[in-house]
Structure 1
């Protein structure tokens, strides 16, 4: 893997938490719409929709770069449609992107040692 893979994972990671927060806020707004006169569903629906589309786009790029199997890719996509799934995706992707960066740094260290 390379730094482009780490970048793709980082982008997906950075959008996963805001997407999860927007989903939870949309659920709260839906409840408030039915129980009070407060109606922020159109605004939160748009915000969540944009963040969800970004999540799916970044997910597709990360899937291609990281070469995940169907099971792994499906799991990360499923997490985007669960109310708190984005938080779990963020933690998982943080570990994975750190591992990629560590592998790249270690590979560069080995190549510099061999070249010296």
Structure 2
């Protein structure tokens, strides 16, 4: 499995956990008095975010991504639904790498 494929999977999981935290766990905390939900979902999101940033840093150097694209990917992680929008560009990068391997 390619680094970009792993990054895409982590990015999607991070995006789902962020949306879950914002639109499910936080309302449950403030409107239903269930703060433990934020603790659980927030912890899962925190682990996924650290994995996302670490893998982004690694891929930035190994795949020689431009600084602009890496910053875009970092910003996408803190914008709701951002990682879902990023996935389209990541799929393109993944296809280009596969095409390059076939030609080489």
Say yes or no: does 1:35 pair with 2:28: no
Q: Distance in 2 between matches of 1:12 and 1:78?
A: 15
Aligned CA-pair RMSD? 1.3
Per-residue Cα deviation, 1:21-48 (whole angstroms, up to 9, x for no partner): 0001111211221111233000001000
TM-score normalised by L of structure 2: 0.91
The equivalent residue for 2:60 is 63
Q: 1:74 aligns with which of 71, 89, 97?
A: 71
The equivalent residue for 2:92 is 95
Say yes or no: does 1:25 pair with 2:20: yes
Deviation (angstroms), 1:17: 0.6
Deviation (angstroms), 1:88: 1.4
Question: Relative contact order, CA 8 A, sep 6+: which one is greater?
Answer: 1
**Structure 1 unaligned residues grouped into runs of 5+:** 1-5, 108-116
Moved over 2 A (4+): none
Equivalent position SS for 1:74: helix
The equivalent residue for 1:51 is 48
TM-score normalised by L of structure 1: 0.82
Q: Distance in 1 between matches of 2:49 and 2:81?
A: 13
The equivalent residue for 1:3 is none
Q: Distance in 2 between matches of 1:54 and 1:89?
A: 16
Deviation (angstroms), 1:93: 0.7
